[in-house]
Every structure is written in structure tokens, then in C-alpha cells.
Amino acid sequence: MKSAVETLDPTKVKLTVEVEYDELKPSIDHAYKHIAEQVNIPGFRKGKVPPRIIDQRVGWGAVIEHAVNDGLSGFYRQAVTTESLRPLGQPEVEVTEIPAKAGEGQLVFTAEVEVRPEIELPDLSSIDLVVDSTEVTDEDVTERLDALRERFGTLVGVDRPAAEGDYVVIDLKATIGGEEVDSVSGVSYQIGSGNMLEGLDEALTGLSAGETTTFSAPLAGGEHEGEEAEVTVTVTTVKERDLPEADDDFAQLASEFDTLEELKADLREQVASIKTSNQAVAARDQLLEKLLEAVEIPVPQGAVEAEVHRHLESEGRLEDDEHRAEVTEDATKALQNQILLDTLAEKLQVQVGQGELVEYLVQASRQYGMEPQQFIQTLDQGGQIPAMVGEVARSKALAVALRQVEVKDTDGNAVDLTEFIGRDEDEQAAADAEAGDSAESAESAESAESAESAESAESAESAESAESAESADEAPKA
């Protein structure tokens, strides 16, 4: 088989493939066999019709069409591998030549397909990252202590105007063009949470129990979602959270510690741990951002449009042009990230071990509320395991890249992220151990197979001896 690639643009190529008759013959033989099982021809049983009879009665055209349809995808994949292409979508295939008759000619087809563009990544050692310091202040500890007190606080009614952070019980009524379209009563809401209607926080601030106000806002749900409405809100109750005193009694109530000082010391350690973890997250995000800034990444528009269509179709919003623009922007960014990280993973020769893949799949199964074995089986049946390997490789690529990047905190101190990104030496040792286990398993299997073969041979020899003895007993006596 011969193949050639023509670059149409940075994200699209035209692949021309020539398949000799001998390479196509297995597919042709399969076509004859399949057609023979389908046709009824007098004088021949199904499945036993000779190829020359099929050519006469059915026609060579039907045979070659079946053969091409049968073998085309395999030849395409083979050519993609040979040419080291990285397709990002389905190809547009055109068959330009087929064998004119049995025994001669060739199959020629072209495939236009969007591919991952070639990009040049900057030298990682030239990148410097700065993250926040892990120094824990008294304010950090106080903030965490207050959050803990919030959990043990109680709501009490107050006779004053509502302020941010207060809890209110409200009645809401929405009208459009003077007609009531929605209403709710007795809803509890914390001012400042911003999780209901746009402008509600501002409208409630300063209202006392029994007071009413009106404001305009787009509705957040229902059949009038997104439409501007006049919203009337009435406050029936204003409450504030009464926090327990921060003392030894509270420490004993909220933790395993006997004193407030011991609790504060533990909270300080928690904050330090969180800040250390945040350093790793911040360094990872910064590295990705700097790489994206340093590289121009052309995006295959067909792949973006396919993802946008899939997304909007699943939501039943194919006609929503405003939402389409938002989804298009998100899909473009996601694809740029994928292209960058796939290129980075190749450059760093990132390998995904079986243990890493299983760990990722187990974590993912929890997010979907499925048993790990069932989740993995579902992915395998859908042919999604390679995609999961890609996800692990992309995430791992950033961690491996961070090992080559200098990271400092805002105080100028070098930051050690080994706990989060690992070390090349440890990874190599783990890979060697995994390879050793695989080799040992293979050796054990081979030994078992050899033992089984030996046992079979011994059994055969015993059977043969028994058969010889039996034959001797049955032989005519002189």
C-alpha cells in the first residue's frame, strides 16, 4: 500500500492511498463469501456459490463495492499510522479508482481530515513561575476559626434592617406586562449569596420585616427564563447567625482538643497545608497559561463545530445563537488546551502506567456514582479507554513539565512541589517495577503453559501405551 499527504492548511490534510489488488484480495474473498451466503442460485447451496457464478449473476460491481466498504477503514487507519497523522475528526473519503475486474487493478481513495496542528513549544527551563507564600497569618487562623463557629451558630430574629450576611424569609411575585407569571412564599435566603435573582441582594439590603420593594430582573427559570420581569419582594423575617464564643468550651464542642490554643494550632496547620496545595494548583494553571500565551494554536473549525452541535443538541438549544457563541468560545479554548497538552506529552515522552490509569478510572467512577468495574466495562465497550489514557497523559504532562520549571513564592523562596508532581527518578523506578511485574506474570504464564503442554504430552503417551496394550490383547493368537 502506498500513501501520500498533501497539507491543505495547518489543521487539514488530504491523504491519498493506493491499495494493490493483492492487498485488497482478503476483502474481496470476504465479499464473495458473504454474497454467497445471501443469494439463491439454482443448483448451488447457500454459501457454496463459486465466485465466477457470483460475477455472472450478481456482478463484479456488487462484489468490489462490498470489498471496498469492508476494507476501507482498515486501509485508512494504516495510512494514518504510516504518515504519523493525528486526526481530530472523521475523514471525508472519496474513492477515485477501483479494480475493473477480478485479478487486476487497484483501489485508490482520498481522505480529507482535520488533524492536530504542529506547534513549537518554548524551552521549559526559560519559564519562571511565582506563587503565593505559604506563610500563615493570625488573620488566616481567625478566618478559619470564624468559619468553624459559623457551622455551630444559631439563627436568631433581629428587629433591624437586613444587611449582607443576614438570613431573610421572603415572598416573591414576578409579573411581565402586568400579568403575574410566577410567585413563591416563605423562601429562606442569605443576602449576598447571589444564587437566586439578579438584583435581589441589593433590593433586600436595608429592608426590615414587613417591608416590600420592587425591582427588575431577568427570570432565572421556567417558561419565561431570561425574560425581564417586575419582581415584588416582601421580607417577613430577618435573622442573623449568633456565633458561639471562641473559648475552651467551644474547642471541646467543635473538635477533639481541650483548649482553644490547641484548636488554633491545628487550624494553623490546616491553613498551611491548604496553601501548600494551592501553590501546586497555581503553578500548574500559570504554566498552562504561559504556554498558551507563547504559542499560536490554530484550531480545526470542523472539530469545534461538531462539538458545539453535540453540546447544543444534548441541551435542545440548537436555535439559541447567543448560547451557541458561548459554547463555541468554550469549545475552542478546550481544543486549544488539548492540542497544547498532547504536544507537551509527546515532547516529554509521557507514559501512562496501568496503575495510573486504574486510579484515574476509579476516581472518575465515583463522580458518576458507578461501581469501578461497571464503569470501566462501560468505557471499554464504548471504545473510550484510549480517550481516558489521553486525559491522564495530558494531566501528567503538566506535572512532568513543572519539574523542569523554576517556581518561587512571592518572598523569593524556591518552592518544592515534589509532593504533588513527583520526581523523574521515582517514576522511572515505578515503571521498572511495573515492567518487572508484567515480565514475571508473562514468565509464570509461559511456565504454566509449558507444564500444561508437558502434562498433555504425558497423558497422550500414557493413552498411546494403553491403546497399544489393548491392541495386543485383541490381536489374534497363533
For the chain, the domains span: 2-114, 154-242
For the domain made up of 2-114, give the CATH fold: Alpha-Beta Plaits (3.30.70)
- Among residues 33, 41, 39, 22, which one has the least CA distance to residue 102? 22
pLDDT digits (tens, 9 = 90+) for 380-400: 999 899 999 999 999 999 999
pLDDT digits (tens, 9 = 90+) for 326-365: 999 999 999 999 999 999 999 999 999 999 999 999 999 9
pLDDT digits (tens, 9 = 90+) for 203-219: 999 999 999 999 999 98
Could you tell me how many residues make up the chain?
478
Specify the range with the lowest mean pLDDT, choosing from 38-47, 235-244, 379-388.
38-47
Specify the range with the lowest mean pLDDT, choosing from 322-331, 422-431, 446-455.
446-455
168 neighbors 206 (Cβ within 8 angstroms) = no
pLDDT, residue 442, reads: 52
- Among residues 216, 162, 213, 225, which one has the least CA distance to residue 189? 162
- Among residues 154, 156, 161, which one has the least CA distance to residue 209? 161
∠ CA 174-325-398, nearest 5°, is 115
Beta strand residue intervals within 306-419, DSSP E = 406-409
For the domain made up of 154-242, give the CATH fold: Chitinase A; domain 3 (3.10.50)
Specify the range with the lowest mean pLDDT, choosing from 287-301, 342-356, 432-446.
432-446
Give the cell for residue 461. Answer: 503417551
Q: Reduce the DSSP state of residue 77 to 3 states and report it.
A: helix
More confident residue, 46 or 241: 241
Q: Which helix (H) or strand (E) holds 187?
A: strand 179-190
Q: Reduce the DSSP state of residue 4 to 3 states and report it.
A: strand
The radius of gyration of the chain's CA atoms, rounded to the nearest angstrom, is 35
- What is the average per-residue pLDDT within 295-304? 93
pLDDT, residue 317, reads: 87
Q: Do domains 2-114 and 154-242 have the same CATH topology?
A: no
How far apart (Å, rounded) are the C-alpha atoms in residues 238 and 247? 28
Instruction: Reply yes or no on whether the pLDDT at 448 is more than 60.
Output: no
Q: What is the model's pTM?
A: 0.73
How far apart (Å, rounded) are the C-alpha atoms in residues 260 and 145? 10
